[in-house]
Amino acid sequence: MRRQTVDPRIRSKVIATWGNRCWLGMPGCSITATEDDHIIPFSHGGKDTVANLRRACKHCNAMRQDRVLSGYGATMHVVIGPPRADFGMAMQPMLRRDSIVVSFDSLLRDLCPTQSKASDGLRLAAAMAWDGAARTLAKSSEPLDVWLVRTLPRSRRHPDMLSEWIALDYDVHVIETPASETFALDLSHQEYRTAQQWYSLHLTQQAVDARMAARRQRLAALGLRHGDDTARPRW
């Protein structure tokens, strides 16, 4: 890991301009910042300037790693929904021709096209492929249009992905299939379990929109978004 010291005079200006409250506010945030965080990561050539630095707590800085704030490099979207939700249909109108789609179901199908009931081992392999692709693309400095598709917004290592996504300004779409519809399908044991977990989260687009709007206001106050549209400062 690089260790790099920001000029104390720049740091003072960063604190005077943007405050010393952690800019990320990820799950487990300590609120009070103790570190300098580069908006455009240092590894992407991000500079030690007041424009590119915000204060972060140690926990969030470590949790973020070098993931970009959506739009400062890759633009990140997420589509979540219960098992068997029609993700393709939901995304179709929003996808660009060059959009990149990372879908757990597609990865699982690619690994084993003929197996209708995938084993736990195979599902783990698909989950790891999903994680690897998502993690790599989330750090991309290229202006890629990335769509992450999955059911539950959590994993063992990331118990609250939704909050991480919102912190990094991802566009999150929730497919709201009624529980009665999902449970009426011939679900596998695994799908049934996942569906139970999905509906216990009570996720709605409205609730997620409210959280994204609050986050975007904060990002605007931090000089990282203009107004409430999708415009972001160019970098």
Stretches 21-29, 84-92, 167-175, 179-187: which one binds Zn ion (CB under 5 A)? Answer: 21-29
Q: What is the DSSP letter of 41?
A: -
Give me the least distance between CB of 43 and Zn ion, in Å please: 20
- Encoded one letter per residue, x for contact with Zn ion by CB under 5 A and - for no contact, window 47-66 reads ----------x--x------
Contact between residue 189 and residue 123 where contact means Cβ atoms under 8 Å apart: no
Q: If binding is defined by CB under 5 A, does position 168 make contact with Zn ion?
A: no
Q: If binding is defined by CB under 5 A, does position 40 make contact with Zn ion?
A: no
Return the number of the residue (21 or 150) whose C-beta is nearest Zn ion. 21
Stretches 14-22, 73-81, 108-116, 131-139: which one binds Zn ion (CB under 5 A)? Answer: 14-22
The two tokens of residue 175 are 């497919």
Tell me the sheet residues that pair with 184. none
Return the number of the residue (22 or 126) whose C-beta is nearest Zn ion. 22
| Exposed e or buried b per residue across 40-73, where buried means at least 16 C-beta atoms within 10 angstroms of its C-beta | bbeebebebebbbbbbbbebbbebbebbbbbbbb
* 207: exposed, middle or buried (Cβ count in 10 Å: 0-12, 13-18, 19+): exposed
Give me the least distance between CB of 221 and Zn ion, in Å please: 16
Give the residues lining the site for Zn ion (CB under 5 A). Answer: 22, 24, 29, 57, 60
